[in-house]
């Protein structure tokens, strides 16, 4: 079923969904199952699986030189989606990136997904690679997520890259990313929302947000989106903060702010267990308020910490 149909059929009830990362190369699918098994009691209608493009590393060679080598540390997004659907009978939503893909490779990936009966995708641009100052698309790849949305919508109408192909119509439901604290490259929130509206006008039918720790930012964002004419479901994304180092690593990676009250509580917690408890309680407080406000769903970034997510969901849903 399509993600949007789940929200429609929920009739105002707030749904819970989860997002997982593929395990590091060399691990088995059981790592995914171990993370998801305890979360399945909450009956998520769908589970997202992130995509991780290749990174370049410099390897020291026997000659003494360094060689630039491309490695993908977390492959397997499509295979994991298929394994999740088979094991749990829920929909799995692969993230699909512009970065690292030519249009041809994107088309082939979409054909694979269609054959596997995976009909939901989250269409994203992806970030710049570590050594590149800014996002660089592949030669003959997409520069912005909207271009990826357009390609998927073309395939939904039977339009393939090869004009000779009179192709089958796919039926993908497309989600896109939104940023309650603005995407870090955008000059301002207004410009970012204009670009978000363009993705929706191009065919995206729901939005999942970047994580945030201050619900007011989310509520203001939704208000601004509605004022701009964006009418699709906007689903808040949450990730509990449970460790001291995350007070710096999360803002650095996701360009979000922590409320001072949360920072103080984390810093004054007496040990690691107390810090985790602070993060759990904060996420419970956020989830309860979001649910009371009638959000269509809460999307939890599990990032390998199922036990923490389990406690939060148990307390709220």
Q: Which stretch binds ligand FAD (CB under 6 A): 56-64, 121-129, 155-163, 270-278?
A: 121-129
Question: Using CB under 6 A, which of 144, 160, 219, 317 touches ligand FAD?
Answer: 144
Question: Do 19 and 299 form a contact (C-beta atoms < 8 A)?
Answer: yes
Site for ligand FAD in 240-269 (CB under 6 A): none
The burial of 289, by beta-carbon neighbours within 10 Å (0-12 exposed, 13-18 middle, 19 or more buried), is given as middle
Q: Which stretch binds ligand FAD (CB under 6 A): 101-109, 164-172, 178-186, 261-269?
A: 178-186
Q: Are strands 66-71 and 55-60 parallel, antiparallel or unpaired?
A: antiparallel
**H helix count then E strand count, the chain:** 11, 10
Question: Using CB under 6 A, which of 22, 44, 76, 126 touches ligand FAD?
Answer: 126
Question: Using CB under 6 A, which of 46, 51, 221, 300 touches ligand FAD?
Answer: 51
Q: Which stretch binds ligand FAD (CB under 6 A): 6-14, 25-33, 185-193, 303-311?
A: 185-193
E strands along 99-242, which residues? 120-124, 173-178, 206-211, 234-238
E strands along 125-233, which residues? 173-178, 206-211
The CA-to-CA distance between both ends of the chain, in Å, stands at 22
205 near ligand FAD (CB under 6 A): no
Question: Using CB under 6 A, which of 95, 217, 239, 275 touches ligand FAD?
Answer: 95
Distance CA 217, CA 180 (A): 6
Hey, what are 299's tokens? 């999307």
Work out how close the CB of 180 gets to ligand FAD at its nearest, in angstroms, rounded to a whole number: 10
Distance CA 107, CA 70 (A): 22
| Cβ nearer to ligand FAD, comparing 23 with 126 | 126
Work out how close the CB of 76 gets to ligand FAD at its nearest, in angstroms, rounded to a whole number: 13
Q: Which stretch binds ligand FAD (CB under 6 A): 8-16, 85-93, 152-160, 181-189?
A: 181-189
192 near ligand FAD (CB under 6 A): yes
The burial of 225, by beta-carbon neighbours within 10 Å (0-12 exposed, 13-18 middle, 19 or more buried), is given as buried
Distance CA 16, CA 56 (A): 36
| Cβ nearer to ligand FAD, comparing 278 with 312 | 312
67 near ligand FAD (CB under 6 A): no
Q: What backbone torsions phi and psi does residue 5 show, to the nearest 5 degrees?
A: -65, -35
Work out how close the CB of 68 gets to ligand FAD at its nearest, in angstroms, rounded to a whole number: 20
Compute the half-sphere exposure of residue 277: CA atoms within 13 Å on the CB side of its CA. Answer: 7
Work out how close the CB of 115 gets to ligand FAD at its nearest, in angstroms, rounded to a whole number: 21
35 near ligand FAD (CB under 6 A): no
Question: How far are the Cα atoms of 21, 170, 188, 251 from residue 304, in angstroms, in the given order?
Answer: 7, 32, 33, 19
Compute the half-sphere exposure of residue 224: CA atoms within 13 Å on the CB side of its CA. Answer: 20
204 near ligand FAD (CB under 6 A): no
120 near ligand FAD (CB under 6 A): no
185 near ligand FAD (CB under 6 A): yes
Positions that interact with ligand FAD (CB under 6 A): 50-51, 95, 97, 122, 124-127, 144-146, 177, 183, 185-186, 192, 195, 199, 208, 210, 237
């Amino acid at each position: 079923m399509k993600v949007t149909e789940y929200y429609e059929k929920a009739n105002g009830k707030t749904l819970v969904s989860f997002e997982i990362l593929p395990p590091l190369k060399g691990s088995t699918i059981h790592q995914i199952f171990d993370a998801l098994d305890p979360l399945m009691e909450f009956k998520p209608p769908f589970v997202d699986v992130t995509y991780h493009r290749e990174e370049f590393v410099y390897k020291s060679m026997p000659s003494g030189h360094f060689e630039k080598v491309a490695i993908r540390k977390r492959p397997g997004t499509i295979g994991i989606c298929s394994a999740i659907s088979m094991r749990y009978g829920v929909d799995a939503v692969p993230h699909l990136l512009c970065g690292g893909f030519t249009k041809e490779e994107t088309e082939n990936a979409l054909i694979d997904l269609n054959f596997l009966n995976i009909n939901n995708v989250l269409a994203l641009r992806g970030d710049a690679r570590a050594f590149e100052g800014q996002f660089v698309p592949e030669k003959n790849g997409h520069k912005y997520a909207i271009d990826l949305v357009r390609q998927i919508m073309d395939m939904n109408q039977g339009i393939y890259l090869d004009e000779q192909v009179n192709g089958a119509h796919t039926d993908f439901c497309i989600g896109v990313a939104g940023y309650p604290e603005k995407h870090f490259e955008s000059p301002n929130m207004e410009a970012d929302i204009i670009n978000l509206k363009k993705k929706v006008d191009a065919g995206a039918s729901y939005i999942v947000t970047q994580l945030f720790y201050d619900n007011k930012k989310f509520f203001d964002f939704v208000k601004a989106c509605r004022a701009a004419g964006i009418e699709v479901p906007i689903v808040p994304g949450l990730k509990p903060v449970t460790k001291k180092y995350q007070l710096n690593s999360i803002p650095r990676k996701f360009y979000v702010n922590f409320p001072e009250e949360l920072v103080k509580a984390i810093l004054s917690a007496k040990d690691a267990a107390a810090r985790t408890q602070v993060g759990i309680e904060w996420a419970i407080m956020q989830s309860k308020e979001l649910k009371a406000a009638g959000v269509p769903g809460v999307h939890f970034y599990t990032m390998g910490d199922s036990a923490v997510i389990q406690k939060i969901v148990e307390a709220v849903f």
